[in-house]
Amino acid sequence: MNIENALSGRTIEAIYTLYGASIEKINFEKTNPDFEGDLTLVVFPFLKVSKKKPEETAAEIGNYLKANIPEVASFNVVKGFLNIVISDAYWLDYFKSVDGKTFINATLPENAPTVMVEYSSPNTNKPLHLGHVRNNLLGYSVAEILKAAGNKVIKTNLVNDRGIHICKSMLAWVKWGNGETPESSGMKGDHLVGKYYVEFDKHYKKEIGELISQGKTKEEAEKQAPLMLDIQQMLRKWEAGDPETRKLWEMMNGWVYKGFEQTYKMLGVDFDTTYYESNTYLLGKDIIDTGLANGVLKRRADNSVFIDLTPDGLDEKTVLRGDGTSVYITQDIGTAVQRQEQFKFDKLIHTVGNEQDYHFKVLFLTLKKLGYTWAEGLYHLSYGMVELPDGKMKSREGTVVDADDLMQEMIDTAKATTLELGKANDLNEADKLHLYETVGMGSLKYFMLKVDPKKKMLFNPAESIDFNGNTAPFIQFNYVRTQAMLRKAKSGAENFNVHDALPENVTMLPKEKALIIKLYNFNATLKQAALEFSPALIANYVYDLAKEFSQYYNETDILKEENKELVAFRLHLSNTIGIAIKDAMGLLGIEVPERM
């Protein structure tokens, strides 16, 4: 029985019985830690119908609930707050129902909504950077949370693999590459291609400077620089299907994809389907024609096509250039329609930084005006920028923090910290290396995800690897504690087995009841995180659970307790807390080590 539902139903009944008033919805809150109780009802909204003082109203409702719900052990009133104490028997019964079980149901309901989550969306002219790290971790975690909450989830990536920016790397390699390959250079393919993107920019700026010195304006110089003319010609060749240009494009993109695969593997993210801009950039043109025909879109004197969104507080938006070529939104319209036709999604979530807020407002509104009712299910998961403290990280190009560099820095810092604290002393070399990676990557992921996605964040690698703070290592260490205790109990005189029956009629300590209530809140937290697309809610939940367990572990005799039934109960509780920690961390894409 869900105790909140029972309390809500009986409270509605109580208000009708006591005061003759009908109330549709009742919400109970967690009781303030300063007061006795598990759930609290704020009675001020009911004073109009009770026509009594807050304390008297709360007491009457409390007496009704205690008389009609066996699970209500007692209640107390603090001004207009009715604090309900739920019986230990209820919490013990609940614990029996979850003891030793996962908190994540892998079976989807038959009518499970289909949700697409798009994340990553890299360009194939450079490696993934710090911003991509937050994007990938956020998108992946949201997808896992939605899946655990009962949705059919499709993880998708849209790779920007064509255009002027790609041609810059290609042309630079042709001019200055001397046939260099990832194999000959020892560089990851995405880093090698990024090297030539930087090389292009260096030579291009030099040409611009020379033209400006000859009397050209900056704008004229940027347009007339020989390298700019060359890449425009290369792009035209690509679009015309020139075999030599396409072969070069395929080779260099192939290098990048292999590099991306390594980075994605290290990040622990994956995709169910991948779209490529080279296949989608022509999509949307037919839709534009239809929009013109039905008057939703209009044509300007220069032959460009636009939609007028000024009545909606936005601007006029060009959806097709005067020469008939696509703009980004043309492709985005076409891609959204294609995805709907392929997957019949109920919701499509775009994980993109907040600098694109306006673009997505325009895109979603345009699709609605074009008559696509499913556009109501489109959502922009907007997130803030990530910044690093000055001097904490060196980037390969001097301006952007490379994702691979960041991950290696995290693993190196985790190694130094775990060795300093002696956390790896009893492990062999292979297990040590795995522990450094687990702690380092867990620290990175947790620090990124514990912050509300909408907020800009400052990421400090050193602060994230702290075994005593609101960090992944602290949570991982407390999971390890549960496993170490279970191993010791199994091999010791207790010969404990987690599959043994849970002892009956134990008397719980207040901290044990508090931990069981934490377990009870797992599903509610998961549902809220799915509703808000916020891994931060899961991160804060699992930290609170680990912190409560850490206090319990330090203050309570578990294996040394003389009462063997209490020992068994506490081991069952510790085991189930370990499962909850592992499940919650898994939703964040974080692994937990078995030993430390």
Band (1; pLDDT cuts 50, 70, 90) = low
For the chain, what is the domain count?
3
pLDDT of residue 525: 97
pTM score of the predicted model:
0.93
The verdict on 426 and 575 lying in the same domain is yes
- Tell me: the pLDDT tens digits for 124-150? 999 999 999 999 999 999 999 999 999
Mean pLDDT of the chain: 93
pLDDT of residue 324: 85
Question: Within 13 Å and on the Cβ side, how many CA atoms surround 176?
Answer: 15
- Name the residue among 36, 308, 8, 256 with its Cα closest to residue 125: 256
Given a contact cutoff of 8 angstroms between Cβ atoms, the answer to whether 402 and 129 are in contact is: yes
∠ CA 575-439-442, rounded to 5°: 85
Residue 313 DSSP label: T
pLDDT of residue 333: 95
Exposure class string for 344-353: b at 16+ Cβ within 10 A, else e: ebebbbbbbb
Enumerate residues 6+ apart whose C-beta is below 8 A from 332: 284, 363
* Cα–Cα distance for residue pair 223/228, rounded to 1 Å: 7
* Cα–Cα distance for residue pair 515/588, rounded to 1 Å: 21
pLDDT at 398 over 60: no
Asked, for residue 257, whether it belongs to a domain, the answer is: yes
Q: How far is CA 463 from CA 249, 288, 434, 440, 460, in A?
A: 42, 51, 21, 12, 5
The verdict on 62 and 176 lying in the same domain is no
Asked, for residue 480, whether it belongs to a domain, the answer is: yes
pLDDT of residue 464: 87
The verdict on 46 and 176 lying in the same domain is no
Helix (H) or strand (E) holding 240: none
Asked, for residue 358, whether it belongs to a domain, the answer is: no
Enumerate residues 6+ apart whose C-beta is below 8 A from 294: 371
- Tell me: the pLDDT tens digits for 157-178? 999 999 999 999 999 999 999 9
The verdict on 411 and 553 lying in the same domain is yes
The verdict on 53 and 201 lying in the same domain is no
Residue 167: domain span: 163-270
- Tell me: the pLDDT tens digits for 96-122? 999 999 999 888 888 999 999 999 999
As a whole number, mean pLDDT of residues 473-493 equals: 92
Q: What is the CATH number of the domain that holds 534?
A: 1.10.730.10
* Cα–Cα distance for residue pair 414/436, rounded to 1 Å: 5
The verdict on 173 and 79 lying in the same domain is no
The label of the residue with tokens 């560099």 reads 405
- Tell me: the pLDDT tens digits for 297-342? 999 999 999 999 999 999 999 999 998 888 899 999 999 999 999 9
Q: Among 237, 270, 303, identify where a domain stops.
A: 270
- Tell me: the pLDDT tens digits for 550-579? 999 999 999 888 898 999 999 999 999 999
Given a contact cutoff of 8 angstroms between Cβ atoms, the answer to whether 290 and 154 are in contact is: no
Residue 326 DSSP label: B
* Cα–Cα distance for residue pair 196/229, rounded to 1 Å: 18
pLDDT of residue 20: 95
Q: Among 43, 69, 86, identify where a domain stops.
A: 86
pLDDT of residue 463: 83
Exposure class string for 196-215: b at 16+ Cβ within 10 A, else e: bbbbbeebbeebbeebeeee
* Cα–Cα distance for residue pair 577/519, rounded to 1 Å: 7
Q: What is the DSSP string of 365-434?
A: HHHHHTT-GGGGGEEEEEE--EE--TTS---SSSSS-BHHHHHHHHHHHHHHHHHHHTTTTTS-HHHHHH
* Cα–Cα distance for residue pair 192/177, rounded to 1 Å: 10
pLDDT of residue 505: 82
Which position has the higher pLDDT, 395 or 210? 210
Helix (H) or strand (E) holding 153: strand 152-159
Given a contact cutoff of 8 angstroms between Cβ atoms, the answer to whether 83 and 75 are in contact is: yes
Given a contact cutoff of 8 angstroms between Cβ atoms, the answer to whether 519 and 482 are in contact is: no
The verdict on 570 and 444 lying in the same domain is yes
The verdict on 566 and 437 lying in the same domain is yes
Asked, for residue 204, whether it belongs to a domain, the answer is: yes
- Tell me: the pLDDT tens digits for 185-213? 999 999 999 999 999 999 999 999 999 99
Residue 123 DSSP label: B
Q: What is the DSSP string of 458-491?
A: E--HHHHS-TTSSSHHHHHHHHHHHHHHHHHHHH
* Phi, psi of 113, rounded to the nearest 5 degrees: -65, 150
Structure tokens at 502: 């849970």
Share of the chain above pLDDT 90, in %: 83
Longest Cα–Cα distance in the chain: 93
Asked, for residue 155, whether it belongs to a domain, the answer is: no
Which position has the higher pLDDT, 506 or 588? 588
> Strand, helix or coil at 303?
coil
Q: What is the CATH number of the domain that holds 62?
A: 3.30.1360.70
Burial class (CB in 10 A: 0-12, 13-18, 19+), 520: buried
Cα 51 from chain centroid? 47
pLDDT at 494 over 70: no
The verdict on 422 and 564 lying in the same domain is yes
pLDDT at 393 over 60: no
Asked, for residue 58, whether it belongs to a domain, the answer is: yes
Residues in the chain: 596
Residue 581 DSSP label: H
* Cα–Cα distance for residue pair 145/97, rounded to 1 Å: 22
- Name the residue among 265, 269, 151, 149 with its Cα closest to residue 537: 149
pLDDT of residue 493: 67
As a whole number, mean pLDDT of residues 474-480 equals: 97
* Cα–Cα distance for residue pair 175/196, rounded to 1 Å: 10
Structure tokens at 145: 């949370």
Regarding beta strands 81-86 and 152-159, do their DSSP bridges make them parallel or antiparallel, or are they unpaired? unpaired
pLDDT of residue 499: 81
∠ CA 188-436-394, rounded to 5°: 50
Share of the chain above pLDDT 70, in %: 98
Q: Among 65, 86, 107, identify where a domain stops.
A: 86
Helix (H) or strand (E) holding 70: none
Which position has the higher pLDDT, 398 or 52? 52
Q: How far is CA 492 from CA 99, 244, 487, 548, 576, in A?
A: 22, 71, 8, 26, 20
Asked, for residue 409, whether it belongs to a domain, the answer is: yes
Band (395; pLDDT cuts 50, 70, 90) = very low
Question: Within 13 Å and on the Cβ side, how many CA atoms surround 1?
Answer: 17
Helix (H) or strand (E) holding 26: none
The verdict on 61 and 179 lying in the same domain is no
∠ CA 372-377-380, rounded to 5°: 115
Structure tokens at 114: 């289909």
Give the other-Cβ count within 10 Å of 524's Cβ: 13
Asked, for residue 255, whether it belongs to a domain, the answer is: yes
